[in-house]
Amino acid sequence: MTDRASERDFLLPARLRVAIDGPAGAGKSTVARGLAKRLGYVLLDTGALYRTVALAARRAGITWDDEPAVGALAQTLANEAAISVEASESAPVSLMPPSRDSAVSTAIGGSGMRVLLRGDDVSTAIRAPEMSLGASRVSAIPAVRAALLDMQRRAGLEGGVVLEGRDIGTVVLPDAEAKFFLTASAAIRARRRMEELAARGTTMAFEAVLHEVESRDRADTERPVAPLKQASDAILVDSSDRPVAEIIEEMALVVEARARVR
Ligand code: DC
């Protein structure tokens, strides 16, 4: 350890790994973004990686239920470092092993992120409702999860990160120092999803969105590989009737307290 590093370790709280899991529409993205900003941490939205695999499959003419082909595609994308995530703010965190000078890096800042697939900005394309379905499908394929696992773990190597997803506290970073499971009622999550879609110019009826939310929940919780499940040591946070700022503050205080005692 350098003098500088040891000095820093004495003076500043540790930079922890924070896992935020939960079902679709629980407000994870907003909370994770706000928490990362509040703590000065880097954010990785892992759902974007699954969405990008779904989009890449679509572009390659591979159907989402063609498990061997989608699995092989995900492995190729990982090997070729074809997916990169860039921050609009904050310093980048590398997703690649230090020995590789490749393009798969991520830097997701406090105010959103840009996702690139072979250099092509797919940030908007992966947010289409169809890609939510595609991501849910491809995320059930073990080979896809395996291909994306290393990338996600690398993002957590240095600490000072918030990883947001479905299996961060259980599979990706089981030893994360702070784990949260964020949830909300299905109706509230559907209402939020509807507003989110409307803001992007897509109008959908409440019942249709609710149906989509519930069927994604089922698919995510019932799949045999890395199902959506609260880690035994995760703090359950219900965001149903609470202001986002209050939730973020509560979570930040937990992280800060744990960072001080380390
Ligand atoms: O959070 P999101 O809606 O962008 O996630 C898209 C899909 O990817 C969702 O159906 C669940 C899946 N996913 C996953 O299986 N594991 C993760 N760590 C993140 C997302």
Domains of the chain with bracketed CATH: 15-260 (3.40.50.300)
Which structure tokens are listed for 91?
């310093």
Asked if the model's pLDDT at residue 95 lies above 60, the reply is no
Between CA 43 and CA 19 the distance in angstroms is 10
The Cα 181–Cα 169 span in angstroms is: 9
Do the Cβ atoms of 52 and 123 come closer than 8 Å?
Answer: no
What is the pLDDT at residue 85? 86
Confidence of residue 102 (pLDDT cuts 50, 70, 90): very low
Q: Is any atom of ligand 1 closer than 6 Å to the C-beta of 50?
A: yes
pTM of the model: 0.84
Alpha carbon of 241 to ligand 1 centroid (Å): 24
Q: Report the percentage of the chain scoring pLDDT > 90.
A: 61
CA of 173 to the centre of ligand 1 (A): 16
Residue spans of beta strands (DSSP E) within the chain: 17-21, 42-45, 83-87, 93-94, 105-106, 113-117, 120-121, 161-165, 178-183, 235-238
Can you tell me which atom of ligand 1 is nearest the CA of 29?
A: 1
Ligand 1 pocket test: which of 166, 209, 214 has the largest number of ligand atoms within 8 Å of its C-beta? 166
Looking at the predicted structure, is the pLDDT value of residue 4 above 60?
no
Q: Cβ(220) to ligand 1 under 6 A?
A: yes
Query: For 43-79, how does the pLDDT look when each residue is reduced to its tens digit (9 = 90+)?
Result: 999 999 999 999 999 999 999 999 999 999 999 999 9
Q: What is the pLDDT of residue 126?
A: 95
pLDDT at 109: 29
Q: Worst-scoring range by mean pLDDT, 74-88, 98-112, 188-202? A: 98-112
In this predicted structure, the answer to whether residue 125 has a pLDDT above a threshold of 90 is yes
Is any atom of ligand 1 closer than 6 Å to the C-beta of 27? no
Query: Which residue, by CA, sits nearest to atom 13 of ligand 1?
Result: 47
Distance separating alpha carbons of residues 29 and 79, to the nearest angstrom = 27
The yes-or-no verdict on residue 226 having pLDDT over 80 is: no
Q: For position 24, what pLDDT does the model report?
A: 81
Grade residue 108 by pLDDT with cuts at 50, 70 and 90.
Answer: very low
Please say whether the beta carbons of 107 and 42 come within 8 A: yes
| Residue 165 CB less than 6 A away from ligand 1 | yes
For residues 152-168, average pLDDT: 91
Distance (Å) from CA 20 to ligand 1 centroid? 12
Q: Return the pLDDT at 262.
A: 67
